[in-house]
């Protein structure tokens, strides 16, 4: 972990029995420490998203969604689409592969703040955006696509479209999920719901394709790595951290954020 990680994340990981190794926050520094650990311990490196095994593992969510709607299918209804958050793209790629050929459309959702919608922009121009520097409150989605995930996500046969939402959209959706669904999720978790509720382009597309009946959409919520303190920073009018954010020192979750570069 970068040594600047939120203390609660470090403590939470250690509480699960993990041995945490610390590094600097650039990918070069992280990889140097990983190489040392692998050499010293014989450990197997599990990359966070850009690896076929990870993609296939996360893709089991696609199977889970299908089994969850089994009773709906039995009643003659169908699942028309699934929307999932997109950061490094491992989860979205896996879901797209799992649902390929089922007739269920797969969409990706990203934050738009400071260019965090790298996947959407890349697909638009046909060229992968390899580097992103954003302090979006959806801090799990600050990473750009990797080589594997770009190949899948830029293929319309797998991912039908990508949509982006504002920081305010994310906060509004998060408030709804916490207060009404009673689920304590992190900002990254709600970009799919925020797209459905607030992205006019997405809504018009559904209206056009789904007609009066609309669509049954499966919405992926991932994940829940947040704290009361982080929620207070996001929703509070804390002048100090606001100032630091403007200066680019603090992420909205209070972590000191460095540039996220894929690969």
Q: Which residues bind its own copies (CB under 8 A)?
A: 8, 175, 178-179, 181-185, 224, 226-229, 231-232, 235-236
- Decide whether 103 or 223 has the Cβ nearer to its own copies: 223
Which of these, 191, 187, 259, 190, lies nearest to 230 by C-alpha position?
Answer: 187
Q: Which is nearer to its own copies, 8 or 25 (CB)?
A: 8
Burial class of residue 75 in the structure, from the number of CB atoms within 10 Å of its CB (0-12 exposed, 13-18 middle, 19+ buried): exposed
Q: C-beta of 250: minimal distance to its own copies in Å?
A: 18
CA distance 33 to 149: 24
**Cα–Cα distance for residue pair 198/224, rounded to 1 Å:** 22
| Min separation Cβ 102 and its own copies, Å | 29
What torsion do the CA atoms of 47, 50, 54, 56 make, to the nearest 10 degrees? Answer: -170
CA–CA gap between residue 258 and residue 244 (Å, rounded):
14
CB of 12 to its own copies, least distance (A): 8
**Smallest gap, in angstroms, from Cβ of residue 157 to its own copies?**
35
Which of 182/208 has CB closer to its own copies?
182
Residue number, 75 or 228, with CB nearest to its own copies: 228
The CA distance from 219 to 82, in Å, is 6
CA distance 2 to 257: 10
Per the document, the length of the chain is 263
Nearest CB to its own copies, comparing residues 236 and 248: 236
Whole-number minimum distance, CB 232 to its own copies, in Å? Answer: 5
């Amino acid at each position: 972990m970068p040594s600047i990680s939120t203390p609660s994340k470090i403590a939470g990981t250690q509480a699960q029995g993990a041995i945490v190794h610390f590094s600097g926050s650039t990918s070069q520094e992280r990889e140097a420490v990983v190489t040392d650990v692998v050499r010293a311990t014989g450990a197997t490196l599990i990359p966070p998203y850009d690896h076929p095994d990870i993609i296939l593992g996360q893709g089991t969510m696609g199977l889970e969604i299908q089994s969850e709607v089994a009773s709906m299918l039995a009643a003659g209804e169908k699942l028309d689409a699934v929307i999932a958050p997109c950061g490094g793209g491992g989860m979205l790629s896996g879901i797209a592969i799992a649902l390929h050929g089922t007739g269920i459309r797969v969409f990706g959702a990203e934050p738009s703040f400071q260019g965090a919608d790298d996947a959407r922009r890349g697909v638009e121009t046909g060229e992968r955006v390899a580097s992103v520097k954003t302090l979006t409150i959806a801090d799990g989605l600050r990473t750009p696509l990797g080589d594997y995930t770009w190949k899948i996500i830029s293929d319309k046969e797998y991912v039908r479209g990508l949509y982006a939402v504002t920081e305010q959209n994310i906060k509004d959706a998060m408030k709804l999920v916490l207060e009404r669904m009673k689920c304590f999720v992190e900002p990254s978790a709600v970009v799919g719901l925020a797209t459905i509720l607030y992205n006019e382009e997405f809504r018009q597309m559904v209206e056009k394709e789904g007609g009066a009946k609309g669509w049954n959409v499966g919405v992926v919520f991932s994940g829940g790595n947040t704290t009361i303190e982080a929620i207070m920073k996001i929703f509070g009018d804390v002048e100090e951290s606001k100032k630091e954010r403007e200066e680019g020192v603090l992420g909205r979750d209070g972590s000191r954020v460095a540039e996220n570069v894929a690969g």
